[in-house]
């Protein structure tokens, strides 16, 4: 098993999408932060990372390997809506 995974990362509205090759040791928080930085998403919002292929959310501190992410999976950066 290799150390890298080819994945797709997109925003929830699907206006932004990237094909990435990432180490299995990367965490959900790493991917969210990279998306916020690269796509200039609002930094004052909270985000969740969901595997759109399986419908399962990734824990921010869990690695891609620990989360069961597979080659070709689509990860979606979703804003966390806070009811007020």
- CA atoms of 58 and 30, how far apart (whole Å): 12
**Domain contains 46:** yes
Spatial contact of 28 and 50, defined as CB atoms under 8 Å apart: no
> In which domain, by residue range, is 67 found?
4-79
For the cut 80, the answer to whether the pLDDT of residue 83 exceeds it is no
**Domain contains 84:** no
What confidence tens digit (pLDDT) does each residue in 8-28 have?
999 999 999 999 999 999 999
CATH code: domain of residue 18: 3.10.20.90
The domain tally of the chain equals 1
- CA atoms of 79 and 11, how far apart (whole Å): 9
Which pLDDT band, with edges at 50, 70 and 90, does 3 fall under?
A: confident
Spatial contact of 49 and 68, defined as CB atoms under 8 Å apart: no
């Amino acid at each position: 098993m290799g150390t890298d995974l080819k994945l797709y990362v997109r925003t929830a509205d699907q206006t932004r999408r990237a094909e990435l090759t990432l180490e299995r040791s990367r965490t959900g928080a790493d991917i969210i932060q990279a998306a916020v930085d690269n796509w200039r998403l609002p930094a004052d919002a909270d985000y969740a990372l969901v595997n759109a292929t399986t419908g399962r959310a990734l824990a921010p501190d869990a690695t891609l390997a620990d989360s069961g992410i597979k080659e070709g999976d689509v990860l979606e950066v979703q804003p966390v809506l806070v009811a007020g």
